[in-house]
Amino acid sequence: MSNNHFASLLESVKPIAEQAGEKIMDIYGSSFDVDTKQDNSPLTEADLAAHHHIVNSLADIANYPILSEESAEISFSERSKWETYWLVDPLDGTKEFIKRNGDFTVNIALIHQHEPVLGVVYVPVTKQVYFAAEGNGAFKQLPEQAAKKISVKKNSSDNLVVAGSRSHITEELKTYLDKLPPHELISIGSSLKLCLVAEGLADLYPRIGLTSEWDTGAAQCVVEQAGGKVVDLEGNRLLYNTKESLLNPYFLVFGHNQYDWTKFV
């Protein structure tokens, strides 16, 4: 499967993410109910509206299986047979959506042989989109503007910038941050933290806390095609669909190796 194939799929996936974002915004401005899933995470009608639109639309452009946060009950015995599949978070940052602070995204990734080879991250409130395909670089596009290529910071400036979670600050993360050199912490929700690293606005995003594979797949592709890395705490690249659990290990996202970021763990 060629890089050109992945790049050509981008042209179809971007509008699907944008249309899902429109459905989310239709609900964002209304009074909506909040349900609770079995894992105690929140669920809204916006999650489901985006999910159904994305799943139906992806099925029309490529005959790959689809794993979405809102349809994640597929067994590993079945998933393990997949060489290529769509990995979707229809509304990443549901807590931020409920708080109406704008820090939520639509994430669509294509995973091939356990690696993210295509990623689209759409921000419904600002209508900006980050996208990438293996071998074709990473881009950011603002409304009514041409897409611009983005890249990670090549080295640290005097002011080290660290992206952190807005809603998930753990004691382990606080301990990690305390060990870092002096830095500015930017708190933001959803996969936007990875995108900040991808576009060179942050040096590092340490995730010393729980996430699932659909939270990271799309943005990991953007980071890697922008020249950055997404690794576990031992320095191994984050991979997908390799085990029964869909939870990620704790991980680090960074744009340069001026520091050995794993040494602060």
CATH 1.10.260.40 fits 3-150, yes or no: no
| Share of residues in the chain with pLDDT > 70 (%) | 98
Reported as a pLDDT band with limits 50, 70 and 90, residue 122 is very high
- Lowest-confidence pick of 38-52, 84-98, 221-235: 38-52
Q: How far apart are CA 71 and CA 74, in angstroms?
A: 7
The reported pLDDT for the residue numbered 25 is: 94
Q: Of 218, 238, 236, 215, nearest to 226 (Cα)? A: 218
Host H or E run for residue 8: helix 3-28
Q: How far apart are CA 36 and CA 44, in angstroms?
A: 9
* 48 close to 23: Cβ distance less than 8 angstroms: no
CB atoms within 10 A of CB 77: 8
Q: Tell me what the mean pLDDT of segment 122-137 comes to.
A: 97
User: What are the residue ranges spanned by the domains of the chain?
Assistant: 3-150, 160-264
Question: Is the predicted pLDDT of residue 241 greater than 70, yes or no?
Answer: yes
Reported as a pLDDT band with limits 50, 70 and 90, residue 167 is low
Note the pLDDT tens digit of each residue in 78-91.
999 999 999 999 99
Strand ranges for the chain from DSSP E: 34-36, 42-44, 66-68, 84-92, 105-112, 115-123, 128-133, 138-141, 148-150, 160-165, 183-188, 204-207, 229-232, 251-254
Q: Tell me what the mean pLDDT of segment 216-221 comes to.
A: 98
* 157 close to 54: Cβ distance less than 8 angstroms: no
Residue with the bigger pLDDT between 138 and 38: it is 138
Q: For the domain made up of 160-264, give the CATH fold.
A: D-Maltodextrin-Binding Protein; domain 2 (3.40.190)
Residue 145: helix, strand or coil by DSSP? coil
